[in-house]
Chains A and B, each alone.
Chain A
Amino acid sequence: MNTPTQDTAAIEVTGATVHYGDVLALDHVDLDVPQGLICGLLGTNGSGKSTLFKTLLGLVRPDHGRVRIMGRTHTAARRAGLLAYVPQSEQVDWAFPVRVRDVVMMGRYGHMRTRRRPRPADRQAVDHALHRTGLTDLADRQIGALSGGQRKRAFLARALAQQAHVLLLDEPFAGVDKHSESTIIDLLRTLREQGHTLLVSTHDLAQVPALCDRAVLLQRRVVARGTPDQVLRPELLMEAFGVHTPEEGPVWMP
């Protein structure tokens, strides 16, 4: 395997097709995200956004097609700690006896040795991630004792603490208030400045021009890709979303 260079795409998907039984969820999807950019993944409910994330992680197996993360297979990339993932909804037991701090610490396990004993650097990274997501005061709460938006931020904090090169965020803005939303947007921009690559799915188009360098419009297949200006065109949105976009959204008009 050749070593990744500056030019290796952070995320590269070629011809990925995914079925759930008879349901075709992804149809020959290509994706190419260069390093150090934020790419928005846009599409309606059921357009295959979450499925694409799961394909990148190897949680669902494509019928055919190829996935590369920094030039490596998903298994090699995961083992090398290159991937952080914040799912759309966490499939966890909310009554589990862990504190918010413990959950965030789980992001550090890839940096630890066999027994996963935290070292000062790990504690520092956790404190920092809690601070950046505004959870410092809630750090000692049991994880289920948080509101929906706070839970979302807790898992974002875990991804931050992981310090992975590539972050996959599935609907990070769903269910968070305006204040948290702008906190998260600032956070994602900072990550990009630090050289991380982010793939962020959303069906709320309003943030896209301000946040994303690239955008991909998904409707089982890729309808459009490019800069936000190139993608957020009425005729393309019409095709992907099946409705006329409201006129009050001039932000994404070319």
Chain B
Amino acid sequence: MDALTALVDFFAVPLQFAFVQRALLVAVVAGVVCAVLSCWMTLMGWSLMGDAVSHAVLPGVVLSAMFGLPFALGALVFGAGSVALIGAVNRTSRVKEDAVIGVVFTAMFALGLVLISRVPSQTDLGHILFGNVLGVTDTDIVQILVLAALVLTVVWFKHRDLTLYAFDRVHAHAIGLNPRLLETLLLGLLAVTVVVALQAVGIILVVAMVIIPGATAYLLTDRFERMLAIATAVAVAAAVLGVFTSFHLNVSTGGSIVLAQAGAFTLAYLLSPRHGILGRRRTRRRTHPATPAHT
């Protein structure tokens, strides 16, 4: 069997299974939505916020299961609610924002743990925490697609305003925009995005999906539009690679996807022409040809 057939089989064999096709769809859609948002998350320095929102949705997911509601509904309520709570406590106390975030999300997560230990078996904590993309149902897929479309539509209309807000909120204010509103919008998008990615990689690893693609792209370009494109490409490649690898090696899908993203980040960190540590050294040598390469 030559290499080409092996490669074709690597993709073709799993794709015969409907559950792999669905997993692939969910992983790619979640990857794209997270990647788009990750560009702002990286630039705003909101990785802790991403971690917070993802953990805080746990009680919502559990309650949804309890009452037979769509999982996205409970997750959204608790995701957005915890963001609002963080903002409120932050404004009305002298405690610094990162401490407030730390308090709120751990408290929410703990509430989820307590709730789940009272709920009869049906909800599997392992699936919520670590994702269960190979077992997504049709209703899950519908919820994911609707929310993904919502996020991408809002971003399509508002991405330049959001970038202006991230770069210079004083100017946004001066030209009559409302920075507070844009901040709320970005946080709302984060909450919805987290819910989209929940099924793919689980609560624990969602933060990776909303940070790594953006951070990788940030190492590779100085243009925001290109950053969006690179982050998306990284996320799609990682989703595809992750799903197929996890099928063949019978390992965690969420883990494989995030590992693939981390691999992309490592490559960019080392090799990026302008911002990578090895790439930078090479550029420097090129611009100073007189410097001896070896001694």
Residues of chain A having any CB pair with chain B under 8 Å? 57-59, 75, 78-81, 83-85, 87, 90-93, 96-99, 102-103, 106-107, 109-110, 114-116, 142, 158, 162
Q: Contact at B176–A79, with CB atoms within 8 Å?
A: yes
Residues of chain B lying within 8 A (CB to CB) of residue A57 = 173-174
Chain B residues within 8 Å of A79, by CB: 176
Interface contact A115-B174, CB-CB below 8 Å: no
Which one of B98-106, B112-120, B216-224, B238-246 contacts A? B216-224
Q: Closest A-chain residue to B224, C-beta based?
A: A97
**A-contact 0/1 string along B194-230, CB 8 Å cutoff:** 0000000000000000000000001001111011000
Contact of A97 among B157, B161, B176, B227 (CB under 8 A): B227
Q: Mark B165-192, 1 if CB is under 8 A from A, else 0.
A: 0111011011111000000000000000
Per-position contact with A for B138-181: 1 when CB-CB < 8 Å, else 0?
A: 00000000000000000011101101101110110111110000
Secondary structure dominating the interface of B: helix
* Nearest-neighbor residue (CB-CB) of A116 within chain B: B160
The answer to whether A114 touches B173, judged by C-beta atoms less than 8 angstroms apart, is no
- The answer to whether A99 touches B223 (Cβ under 8 A) is yes
Q: Is the CB of B222 within 8 A of A84?
A: no
- Residues of B at the A interface (CB closer than 8 Å) are 43, 156-158, 160-161, 163-164, 166-168, 170-171, 173-177, 218, 221-224, 226-227
Question: Closest approach, in angstroms, between the C-beta of A168 and any C-beta of chain B?
Answer: 8
Chain B contacts for A97, CB-based, 8 A: 43, 218, 221-224, 226-227
Q: Which residue of A lies closest to B168 (CB)?
A: A92
**CB distance B164 to A109 under 8 Å?**
yes
Cβ 8 A contact of A87, one of B157, B170, B221: B170
The CA-CA distance from A90 to B174 in the complex, in Å, is 13
Q: Is the CB of B173 within 8 A of A58?
A: yes
**Also in contact, A109 and B170, with CB within 8 A (given A97-B222, A99-B223):** no
Q: Is the CB of B223 within 8 A of A84?
A: no
* Cβ distance A129 to chain B, nearest Cβ, rounded Å: 14
Q: A115 to B223, Cβ gap below 8 A?
A: no
**B177 proximity list for chain A (CB < 8 A):** 109
Bound Cα distance A92, B163 (Å): 12
| A93 and B160 in contact, given A57-B173, A81-B175, A142-B222 (Cβ under 8 angstroms) | no
